[in-house]
Amino acid sequence: MLFRSHPVRKQFYYTGFLPFQPDLNYRNPEVKAAMFNMVRFWLDKGVDGFRLDIISAIYEDPLLRDNPFSYKIAPSDNSLTLFFQHLKNNFLQEESFGFATELRKVLDEYPNKFMVGETHGDESLIHQFCNYKQENGLHTVFLFKALSTPFTATAYRKMVEKFEKYFPEPLIPTYVFGNHDRTRMMARLKGNIAKAKLLALFQFTARGIPFVYYGEEIGMTRVRIPLRQAQDPIGVRMRYIPQFMVDLSIETLNRDECRTPMQWDNSANAGFCAKEIKPWLPISENYTYCNVQTAQNDEDSLLNFYKKIIHFRNITAAIKLGKLKIAEKYCSKEVLAFYRILEEKAFLILLNMSEKKIPLPEIKGKNCLSTYPVIAEDNTLKAWEGRIVEME
């Protein structure tokens, strides 16, 4: 664990992240009460809720013991490590789950408020942030496993089944395919727009809350920025790592690469700021064609597909509120299929997660929407096609 000296107080303080961020001791009831009053301050001003940054690190080992050594430098969905430490003593302490239930009681003093927590760890553990000892906690947490799940029907089925197991109703899972800490979604999809549409259809039809990181809706890509030019504190701390080693990974050690300015149009600085202003981070060279204005004028663009699927979700109660059931009849190594069911209404979601044309068993229903402009009538799915069918 890291400790910093405070020259004025002539004391040391613990910092879990950056040196100018002293950590708060939530075992002190006065600290906890002050924080809950701060929450009420913002709720009184009318905020709708809170995104709780790295809620899993809110408590530390009470004796502040050092973390065990790890050979890994960066965290992953399967390993809670950072800078060669296994974060055993400053992440996911038992008290963190109880804290979430206490915080929920504060939010419940106000109607219709919402909390989502950022955490890492296996779903079998972190679901306790939402329900701990049969008490309500956070409304949901980010489930980052979606970021690294292989883009195959088999892997996605396993992910859905695991999320459903640990976040059953009334809990609700989340589907997150990009954020400010991880490489952009399009880097994982290797720039394939058909895959990006398929992913959007899945994200907005599975039972869960879809979180879209800015720029995903137009297919913004990772901007390569050498580690030695990083302004991100983590990137600065890792500048000693040779660039060729950084480039070997699909993930980024320089988070600046996924935080570049939003690309609004093809004018100077992509319309993000005036042309005489130098933005904090560089703009992707593809902004001249990958931008909101261009996408709006292309009927078949990724952006316009996002608009279609969001509209369909908004007007279809079964997609928003229905139960999810795997459609075994239509599942295969290439195809993931599931139903969304609400009362007498059922919709079949078909996802061909392969580059092959796939024949389907007979379907009795009405085609509602496809990731392709024209839906085939020969009972097949095109390569990377997603489709929604209203069952008879």
According to DSSP, the β-strands at 81-82 and 85-86 are: antiparallel
Residue 164's pLDDT is 98
pLDDT of residue 104: 98
Q: Are strands 345-352 and 386-391 parallel, antiparallel or unpaired?
A: antiparallel
Determine, yes or no, domain membership for 353.
yes
- Residue 339 placed within a domain: yes
* 219 falls within a domain: no
Q: What is the pLDDT of residue 17?
A: 80
Is residue 186 a part of any domain in this protein? no
Per-residue pLDDT at 86 = 67
Residue 174 · residue 209 · CB < 8 Å: yes
385: containing domain: 324-391
pLDDT at 71: 62
- What is the dihedral angle through the alpha carbons of 105, 107, 113, 118, rounded to the nearest 10 degrees? -90
The tally of domains found in the chain comes to 1
Mean pLDDT by 10 residues, the chain (392 residues): 81 84 93 97 98 93 78 62 70 92 97 95 94 96 94 98 97 97 94 98 98 98 93 87 83 92 97 95 96 98 98 98 98 98 97 96 94 88 97 94
| 22 in any annotated domain | no
Domain with 370 in it: what CATH number?
Answer: 2.60.40.1180
Identify whether 366 is part of a domain: yes
82 lies in some domain: no
Task: Please report whether residue 27 resides in a domain.
Answer: no
